[in-house]
Amino acid sequence: MPVYHDEKRNTYYISASYTVRKGVYKKLVRRGFKKKKDAVRMERILMANIEDNVRKINNMSMILDDLWNDYSEYMKLTEWKEKTTTTNTNKYEKHIKPVFGQRNVLQIEKKEIVDFHTKLINQGLCKSTVNGIHSVFSGLYTYINDVYDIDYHPLSKVGFIKCNQEDKKKEFVILETEDFVRFVDAVEDTKMKLIFRTFYSTGLRISELQNLKWTDFKKKSLCIHKVTKSKNSYRIVPIDQELNELLTEFKQKCSKEDTYTSDAYIFFGKSFQKKIPDYVIRDVLEKALDDCGLKRMTPHDFRHTFVSLLIDAGYDDTTIAEVIGDSVSTVRTVYAHMLPKRRKSITEFIDNCVPKINISV
């Protein structure tokens, strides 16, 4: 690696190109050495490190699954949020691993990434969801490039799928009553049945449901005391008699376990002190929907379903906003497509209740 003299600054610098692997070259420059011997000493150190890294890369299998395990440890080490780590892992395990898990990262080509995007779209995933999976995959490659200095990133060359305004408008899935009964019957686990029953009749956000503890369960109500979206999130959510009885019975069953405590999570994960992860809820939801032959939906679509029930029942937007923990303006904006039915019912009501009189105009 040659050492040069910078006449303008009267310092020495190192500049050279080196081979990362066949057909891939990188340039390295280090400036600001006051003495030539310091530059020469650094040149020897850098050359040794480069040769060591290249040797490691050539000797490694560079299998994606192995590198994902390293990346997972890196996420824990750098204290990523638990929810982010869990979400990324779920996307990798469910979508990326089955296709590329046993592949060498240096052999995955751009065309394969494009085909992967197409496959996900054909499976019924929306473009924003596909871009989310792409982001996780791309993050893994960025990590590999930084740590192993391989300078190979097919994801960055392909880029994200372009979304126009229509693509960004997610279609609401409203679950009809009879379909919901079919769906719940297809869910095997009692706790999971209760989760979807709670979603359906309360309109809770998934994060609100996850954070529920038995201390939040009062007679015929659930207390949402953790702000997840806005200050409107804090509220008392009324629940129906049947759900109240089901939760009471479930609490009695849980309380018989030795590890149960009064402040345990209602919908726990691996233990009463761990809340249930997103991916568990989503996986059970997708499987049950497929078993029933129903349209794919997300946990948040239960919230839309609940709001549609309130609108059909004739509740005004202010009341709906209070119940679901949102602003009136959001209700009017997000559910504007449902409100015309309400306006129509008001017109029909006026037609029926206003007395008919004879007026000549």
81-132 pLDDT, tens digit per residue, is: 887 888 899 899 999 999 999 998 988 999 999 999 999 988 878 888 899 9
Q: Which position has the higher pLDDT, 167 or 304?
A: 304
Q: Which of 19-28, 153-162, 192-201, 279-288 has the lowest mean pLDDT?
A: 19-28
**Given a cut of 60, is residue 217 above it in pLDDT?**
yes
**Given a cut of 90, is residue 222 above it in pLDDT?**
yes
Token pair, residue 63, equals: 């299998």
Q: Which of 63-67, 138-142, 199-203, 345-349 has the lowest mean pLDDT?
A: 345-349
Q: Which position has the higher pLDDT, 335 or 31?
A: 31
pLDDT of residue 355: 66
Domains of the chain: 3-59 (no CATH), 64-168 (1.10.150.130), 177-346 (1.10.443.10)
Distance CA 21, CA 8 (A): 35
Q: Which position has the higher pLDDT, 203 or 314?
A: 203
251: pLDDT confidence band, cut at 50, 70 and 90? very high
Token pair, residue 277, equals: 């992860």
Tell which residue, 181, 190, 104, has the closest CA to residue 150: 104
Tell which residue, 34, 53, 44, 35, has the closest CA to residue 2: 44
pLDDT of residue 356: 60
Q: Write down the pTM of the prediction.
A: 0.63
CA–CA distance from 66 to each of 70, 106, 308 (Å)?
A: 7, 14, 46
pLDDT of residue 252: 94
Question: Given the structure tokens 């040769």, which residue do they identify?
Answer: 51
The average confidence (pLDDT) of the chain is 85
pLDDT of residue 166: 56
Rg of the chain taking only CA atoms, in angstroms: 29
pLDDT of residue 347: 55
1: pLDDT confidence band, cut at 50, 70 and 90? low
pLDDT of residue 278: 87
Residue 127 near residue 161 (C-beta atoms within 8 A): yes
39-88 tens-digit pLDDT: 888 888 887 777 776 666 655 568 999 999 999 988 888 888 887 888 89
20: pLDDT confidence band, cut at 50, 70 and 90? low
Long-range contacts of 42-51, Cβ-Cβ distance < 8 Å, separation of 24 or more: 42/14, 43/1, 43/3, 43/14, 46/1, 46/14, 47/1, 50/18
Find which of 264-273, 305-314, 326-335 is predicted with most confidence, using mean pLDDT. Answer: 264-273
pLDDT of residue 244: 92
Q: How far is CA 200 from the centre of its chain?
A: 21
Distance CA 42, CA 48 (A): 10
pLDDT of residue 213: 95
Share of the chain above pLDDT 70, in %: 85
Q: Which position has the higher pLDDT, 9 or 47?
A: 9
Average pLDDT, integer, range 12-40? 79
Partnered with residue 104 across adjacent β-strands are 63
pLDDT of residue 152: 86
pLDDT of residue 342: 52
**Given a cut of 60, is residue 168 above it in pLDDT?**
no
CA–CA distance from 146 to each of 53, 125, 143, 271 (Å)?
A: 12, 31, 5, 37
Token pair, residue 105, equals: 């990262």
Rounded to the nearest 5 degrees, what angle is found at the Cα of 289, between the Cα atoms of 284 and 294?
170
Partnered with residue 237 across adjacent β-strands are 222
